[in-house]
Amino acid sequence: MFSAFAELLPDLTELYQNLHRHPELSFEENRTAAELGHHLRDLGYEVTTGVGRTGVVGVLRNGDGPTVMLRADMDALPVTERTGLPYASNRPGVMHACGHDLHCAWLVGAAALLAHGADQWAGTVLLVLQPAEETGGGAEAMVDDGLYERFGRPTVAFGQHVGPAPAGRVLSRPGLMMAASDSLQVRLFGRGGHGAKPESTVDPIVMAAATVLRLQTIVSREIPATDTAVVTVGALHAGTKENIIPDDAELKLSVRTFEPRVRERVLGAITRIVHAEAAAAGAPKPPEVEIMRAFEPVVNDEAATSRVSDAFIAHFGSDRVAGTEPQTGSEDFGVYGARGRFPSVFWFVGGSDPEAYEQAERAGRVDRDIPSNHSPYFAPVLETTLSTGVETLVTAAMAWLTASGSADPQTG
Amino acid sequence: MFSAFAELLPDLTELYQNLHRHPELSFEENRTAAELGHHLRDLGYEVTTGVGRTGVVGVLRNGDGPTVMLRADMDALPVTERTGLPYASNRPGVMHACGHDLHCAWLVGAAALLAHGADQWAGTVLLVLQPAEETGGGAEAMVDDGLYERFGRPTVAFGQHVGPAPAGRVLSRPGLMMAASDSLQVRLFGRGGHGAKPESTVDPIVMAAATVLRLQTIVSREIPATDTAVVTVGALHAGTKENIIPDDAELKLSVRTFEPRVRERVLGAITRIVHAEAAAAGAPKPPEVEIMRAFEPVVNDEAATSRVSDAFIAHFGSDRVAGTEPQTGSEDFGVYGARGRFPSVFWFVGGSDPEAYEQAERAGRVDRDIPSNHSPYFAPVLETTLSTGVETLVTAAMAWLTASGSADPQTG
Amino acid sequence: MFSAFAELLPDLTELYQNLHRHPELSFEENRTAAELGHHLRDLGYEVTTGVGRTGVVGVLRNGDGPTVMLRADMDALPVTERTGLPYASNRPGVMHACGHDLHCAWLVGAAALLAHGADQWAGTVLLVLQPAEETGGGAEAMVDDGLYERFGRPTVAFGQHVGPAPAGRVLSRPGLMMAASDSLQVRLFGRGGHGAKPESTVDPIVMAAATVLRLQTIVSREIPATDTAVVTVGALHAGTKENIIPDDAELKLSVRTFEPRVRERVLGAITRIVHAEAAAAGAPKPPEVEIMRAFEPVVNDEAATSRVSDAFIAHFGSDRVAGTEPQTGSEDFGVYGARGRFPSVFWFVGGSDPEAYEQAERAGRVDRDIPSNHSPYFAPVLETTLSTGVETLVTAAMAWLTASGSADPQTG
Amino acid sequence: MFSAFAELLPDLTELYQNLHRHPELSFEENRTAAELGHHLRDLGYEVTTGVGRTGVVGVLRNGDGPTVMLRADMDALPVTERTGLPYASNRPGVMHACGHDLHCAWLVGAAALLAHGADQWAGTVLLVLQPAEETGGGAEAMVDDGLYERFGRPTVAFGQHVGPAPAGRVLSRPGLMMAASDSLQVRLFGRGGHGAKPESTVDPIVMAAATVLRLQTIVSREIPATDTAVVTVGALHAGTKENIIPDDAELKLSVRTFEPRVRERVLGAITRIVHAEAAAAGAPKPPEVEIMRAFEPVVNDEAATSRVSDAFIAHFGSDRVAGTEPQTGSEDFGVYGARGRFPSVFWFVGGSDPEAYEQAERAGRVDRDIPSNHSPYFAPVLETTLSTGVETLVTAAMAWLTASGSADPQTG
């Protein structure tokens, strides 16, 4: 099954670099979708584009058997690339800083191996290339657009993400895998005026600054240290000129939690603090706090995860397969299984240079020395990462497609 | 001299509303300059455009005598108008929120009266319509472009500004009139990354928030309460998405002071605080603090101010002419006299509805109830304000143009 | 063994209320030590006082067999009691707000049962009543004063703490049980002066406020949300009068961590922030940051914990014995095993009214509705808590004292 | 009149150093009052102690004429002296850091000269040595205790204060001389608990820190930069141990303003901010904000000030007599004239080494290099300061006591 990979590698590398060079933001993945659709059609997949706006679906029916769904996400981020790579983004302000280009290349690689080796398995492979994972909404858009009704309900679904671990390594866990995520937008209302006359204004920038600092106390004071919560203000915008005090300020917040009771307490504290800080400033009207989107946690099915892990260990050897703590990152992958009521499994594939990673780990500096996803310096090492992510998809898929009785989703 | 004004009023009002509807930002005052040049030419002035990029100069030579310079500024502000006026700005995000449109209309009105009444005076009237007062640089650009060499060095120069006082009122003072102003840009450097993994980043938004709050202590703790200083953060921008911690944050600061020792202490404290707050955050590199521009204070020549005040009282009556404290606002009008070494006088013309103003004053709520310059609600009452600002210019000019021996700048 | 307990209860209750009424601070437990020594002597124990300043040791030798050490701590806290109990503290500003009075009563109760039932076991019981657990130093003082040399090295040691769980419940875990704890003192140096002239001072209170707020960012931004760290400023003192700006400010910090790498990062961040905030204020000299004391984490021996748990389940039934997450609280109990190189086990005994606790738990309000240790409202329910903590000590001790071959510490 | 001063100097110096060595806090000036009463009796004054608790009154009746009241204050401050002077305070934690010891020595010196030169004037000298100026209440206590009824209503009253100006210099102004002062106490309520479990508490120290920082924005944002306001948090106390989160925090604030509308806005903003910051923290109950005492501004009578200034210039020469801006410091001296409805004048006497002062002034570092009142390093230079403050009192008194018709308080 995997012997064909060496032949594939040059094309896959080119595809990856092509995607990396032309990043597209959420729900604007038109070029990406066209490119990927073209590759899948060449491999013999029945391809439908425009599913959930810019999503792509590829289907390969190969006799009776389970339907295995493999999912990749396609969108890039509003980040200006600083890697200096020869194939760096040619669009200032947009970058594949989260590795979704790699996810797409992995999916195409797996699609190729599965197509070439179709005599070794039976069933249906359902490829889902979704838009807008970063902003959320992509998974829901595809399901809402009839993903299961039009292309069949899967027996099991797999998703994977490149991350800061040594290249060649695969990490997963049963149960809670990734955090719930809430995206909030906060508008603070002051009263604008001349920068030399603050007394005739209510300064929304000072209000915003006090709010940002006070929000830090949610995690530091209100949540048990043994629980998990992240409250990040990822964007803060106010004003145009130094000598005009603006009318308002806008904050964008990201919240990550593992448990509903913690989530509830964090969201309550945000609302309380934002309102009180506006009151402290004498704001002319209360702030607006809006939840823009909310991701459920990604929860791996216990039985399916166990079957996937066994297959990974058999394929990669146990030294390349590891457990992991639940991650504060989040994903809309959880939407597929929750909406379709079938088991799903998500895992990470390491993308860091193993030597650099080990050195950073020994120095206790992984957090500081290894560029994380979303960093403008994010750059997975190529060959090992590319091959590992293709092999994981194929290995997991084959654990269902070659098994007798695997059509029973209950044992997924 | 002033009898012709009633006839002028409809045209002036139309001109004002025309300018108000089409605001242009600093050094982009092309339409405004063309419009004004057209009017001045019609009145018989020799007009030159493109002086100091988008500036306009109008000259009327009328026999021997002093050269009186009258100056108005033309640029608008990046503010979205919220007045709801029928002649409100038709450009979202740009507004004549500081009344420079009125300044221009005043100048054209005065130019008309002086031209119509040329038999009553002798000398030269030099009209200076400058660009880019808001961002600074306009006055300097015109002087650098040969204003005095090409059009003659003035005996005296006058400038005026509409402000929050009852319409019909004129306010001035000898000596220090408006504050020194420094515009600073600060870039704070963090290290970007995933919003769910703040531990692998240095969060520049928290750094910026702590910096903004700590900057408040300069005025509250480091400057004597009996001295005058303003430190405003007028703009703060960082980040694009809630789930990406950005690499850096940008702040724009405006500083107002009356005395060099206070200015020095404020600027020193800003630098100290910005660097220390970056250090507190563990910033990967020190912040950049740059003075973008610095305005000298506007200082009114004592003798010339006294002559102007006498003329104002004679014309308006003493109840409409008032003294004023030095203002924390600032201006590049000071550049003209300082560069050309001639006396100059600057004054304010009230633009607020007198009844509303008085009521706010009685309630101690002027700061809160009367929209200040730069506010999106800034809207001078029209007729009285328009006529007063024309009369002030003509009255001050005539105090020189009709006086014998007034050509001696030393007695300004 | 336990049948004698009912008879004991009135005396034990009286002893507990007596201790509660007369709390004594760390290393001042003179009355407490005398009272306890008296009780133990009456029970036939060989008692030595003044071990490690105010500590008490009781020994009961009962033939060949293992030496089982049971430890309680005796000191109270500088808290003013607000429970309104009839036996509330009669010393304003001092209170048994952490339940050490209960720990002492438990120990005396267990000592009584073991003495009465001496025919049922063989070996030596070593009772250790230590001073100064709250400030740290008590366990070390006793070991340094020759605890093991003078009274024999234990085979195993047990400690227990009352905590916010339903009365009657016992909680423990193998491995990491309680956090490492560091106590820091920070002195911030400003420059004092007149409250009306802040400009001639460097205000240490503003400096302290900025420091406290910025310290919140360590947990909220620098430590992974899936790791555990607490940074508490428990005391802040500066100044005497409103119109004098003081010279300095003093902060007392408590840090809790589970892992050395997290501890190191927290301590580094504290030092960095404290110094930078002093620099931001223009401090005349750098702050002093001193680690007053450091507790190692309490780590339960795996084999010994397993033996204790089995005994607890056999005695209490499995519904009253629970596991627990590692706690952010800390203890110097870890010193005994670490210094003497023998296994030790620590557990919690619930002290809350079960109904109130359950109701709070259902409402997700345990943190808010159940007074925690150190609260001025801390008040364990009496009878069930008293009996459970006596039974745990006896049950654990008997698991060694009645076992053959139990003298081997390796299987402790 | 002044020829006798040289003879007095050694005794006065000894008296001053004696008082400096034995400072006493407000309303505890027992030793000081006894010492001063003794000196005044020796000089022939009729002395009454215990007026307004610890105040002292001395009267010298010398024929018909005006009654001139000279006032000094006696209390010290809770500051630990750090001057290293041979006559430094022998009481740790108490210091004459505001120079009231000097004020007392001045008064005794003036009393001596006036007694010795009684043949040169007619009228009555009323010496008022008041307690508790620092905490307020001393002036009111004496007036309430029948000062005017028992000892006669003055024609005019004089007060003086040593301050940071070159020794030998005298400064005053007609009208507003010293600020209104409000002393506030703020109690913030949290909910205490264990330092390792902040989630079960509401941390009042973080609440206090946020409050202190936010209070800075009153002066920096809400008060016009050309107005005068000071908001100082002079004391902040919370907590006892690092591992207990306390129940509450206490802040002491001093507010200085020149104008009622500014005072009103500052006090309103304090209340707003304190309440909102408590709300931001989720405080279990609202904070308490209490005005402990309020001083009126000190306003110098215009005519009396003019007469005093003329007398000073005649005596000292015009180079030693200067005007001054209104000061942010405050005083209860204003109580005397306001309550008794007679004119009063207050002035400053420089106490700094002239060379050091001039050097600091040239470097723009007076605020930083010259220890201000209330500093633990406050130390007036002795001889010149001592003689100047005696001469000012005598000179001002003689301007009334030697004048005909001066008994008319209306022309005071």
Our CA-based measurement puts residue D290 at a distance from the nearest CA of chain C, in whole angstroms, of 13
Counting every residue written for chain D, the total comes to 412
**Whether C276 contacts B210, CB under 8 Å:** no
Q: What is the pLDDT of residue D404?
A: 53
What are the residues facing B160 on neighbouring strands? Answer: B347
- Residues D5, D113 contacting (CB under 8 angstroms): yes
Residues 6+ apart with CB under 8 A from C330: C178, C179, C180, C181, C256, C295, C297, C298, D196
Residue D79 above 90 pLDDT? Answer: yes
CATH number, domain A180-295, options 3.10.350.10, 3.40.50.620, 3.30.70.360, 2.60.130.10: 3.30.70.360
The sheet with strand B248-257 has its strands ordered as: A288-295, A180-189, A248-257, A229-238, B229-238, B248-257, B180-189, B288-295
Cβ-contact A173, A299 below 8 angstroms: no
Residue D321 pLDDT class (50, 70, 90 cuts): very high
Query: What is the rounded average pLDDT for all residues in chain D?
Result: 94
State what percent of residues in chain D have pLDDT above 70.
Answer: 98
A231-235, B37-41, C241-245, D105-109 — which is least confidently predicted?
Answer: C241-245
Half-sphere exposure of C216 (CA within 13 A, CB side): 29
What chains are in contact with D, requiring at least 3 Cβ pairs below 8 Å? A, B, C
Has residue A206 got a pLDDT over 80?
Answer: yes
Per-residue pLDDT at A408 exceeds 50: no
**Cα–Cα distances in angstroms (integers) from residue B201 to residues A307, B243, C231, D141, D197, in the given order:** 36, 12, 20, 61, 27
Q: Match 């063989």 to its residue by tokens.
A: C122
* B28 annotated as ligand-binding: no
Binding residues of C for Mn(2+): 98, 100, 134, 161, 374
Residue B408, pLDDT above cutoff 50? no
Instruction: Determine whether A75 is an active site residue.
Output: yes
- How many Cβ pairs closer than 8 A exist between chain A and D? 66
pLDDT digits (tens, 9 = 90+) for A347-373: 999 999 999 999 988 887 887 788 888
Most D-contacting residue of C80, C96, C134, C194 (CB-CB within 10 A), to test interface: C194
Q: Residue B410 above 90 pLDDT?
A: no
Nearest to A192 among B193, B246, B376 (CB): B376
Please indicate if any CB of chain A lies within 8 Å of the CB of B244. Answer: yes
Q: Which helix (H) or strand (E) holds C327?
A: none
Strands A156-166 and A344-352: parallel
Q: How many CA atoms lie within 13 A of C120 on its CB side?
A: 13
Say yes or no to pLDDT of D2 above 60: yes
Range list for CATH 3.40.630.10 in chain D: 2-177+297-405
> Are C125 and C47 a contacting pair, CB within 8 Å?
no
Per-residue pLDDT of chain C (412 residues; tens, 9 = 90+): 788 888 999 999 999 999 999 999 999 999 999 999 999 999 999 999 999 999 999 999 999 999 999 999 999 999 999 999 999 999 999 999 999 999 999 999 999 999 999 999 999 999 999 999 998 899 999 999 999 999 999 999 999 999 889 999 999 999 999 999 999 999 999 999 999 999 999 999 999 999 999 999 999 999 999 999 999 999 999 999 999 999 999 999 999 999 989 999 999 999 999 999 999 999 999 999 999 988 889 999 999 999 999 999 999 999 999 999 898 888 999 999 989 999 999 999 999 999 999 998 888 788 778 888 888 999 999 999 999 999 999 999 999 999 754 434 333 3
B374 labelled binding-site residue? yes
In tens, the pLDDT along A242-265 reads 999 999 999 999 999 999 899 999
Under an 8 A CB cutoff, do C325 and A225 touch? no
In angstroms, the CA C199 to CA B222 distance is 4
Q: Which one is catalytic: C81, C133, C182, C248? A: C133
Contact residues for D138 (Cβ-Cβ < 8 A; gap 6+): D26, D27, D52, D55, D73, D75, D130, D131, D132, D332
* Residues B284-336: tens digit of each pLDDT: 999 999 999 888 899 999 999 999 999 999 999 999 999 998 988 889 999 99
Provide the whole-model pTM.
0.83
pLDDT tier at A404, thresholds 50, 70, 90? low
Angle between the N-to-C axes of helices C100-116 and C382-401, in degrees from 0 to 180, rounded to the nearest 10: 50
CA C335 to chain centre: 12
**Whether residue B367 has pLDDT greater than 80:** no
pLDDT tens digits for B227-270? 999 999 999 999 999 999 999 999 999 999 999 899 999 999 99
How many other CB atoms are there within 10 angstroms of residue D3's CB atom?
9
Question: What integer is the mean pLDDT of D309-318?
Answer: 96
Average per-residue pLDDT for chain B:
93
Q: Give B373-397 pLDDT, tens digit per residue.
A: 888 999 999 999 999 999 999 999 9
D221 CB neighbours in chain A (<8 A) are 198-199, 201, 203, 206
C242 is catalytic: no
Distance, in Å, from the CA atom of A364 to the CA atom of A140, rounded to the nearest integer, reads 39
pLDDT grade for B404, boundaries at 50, 70 and 90: low
Q: What is the pLDDT of residue D412?
A: 34
- Rg for chain C, CA atoms, rounded: 23
Of B214, B223, B224, the CB nearest to C210: B214
**Above 0.95 for ipTM, yes or no?**
no
Q: What is the pLDDT of residues B141-200, one digit of tens each?
A: 999 999 999 999 999 999 999 988 999 999 999 999 999 999 999 999 999 999 999 999
- Say what the pLDDT of residue C30 is: 97
> What's the pLDDT score for residue C404?
54
d(CA B329, CA B348): 11
Q: Residue B269: what residue type?
A: A
Give CA–CA dist C310/C324, Å, rounded. 16
Radius of gyration of chain A (CA): 23
Give start-end residues of each CATH 3.30.70.360 domain in chain A.
Answer: 180-295
- Tens digit of each residue's pLDDT (9 = 90 or more) over D361-386: 888 788 778 888 888 999 999 999 99
What is the structure's pLDDT at B405? 42
**A322-341: average pLDDT:** 91
The catalytic position among A73, A75, A277, A301 is A75
CA dist., res. B275 & res. A73, Å (int): 41
Q: What is the pLDDT of residues A312-328, one digit of tens each?
A: 999 999 999 999 989 88
Give the model confidence (pLDDT) of A2-23 as tens digits. 888 899 999 999 999 999 999 9
Give tens-digit pLDDT for A42-89.
999 999 999 999 999 999 999 999 999 999 999 999 999 999 999 999
What is the overall mean pLDDT for chain A? 94
C152: left (phi over 0), alpha (psi -120 to 50) or beta: left
The residue ranges of DSSP E strands in D94-142, in sequence order, are 123-130
Shortest distance, CA B140 to any CA of chain D (angstroms): 28
Chain A closest-CA separation from residue C328 CA (Å):
7
CATH C-level class of C2-177+297-405:
alpha beta
Any bridge partners for residue D93, and if so which? Answer: none
- Cα A196 to its chain centre, rounded Å, is 45
Q: Is B368 on the interface with C (CB under 8 A)?
A: no
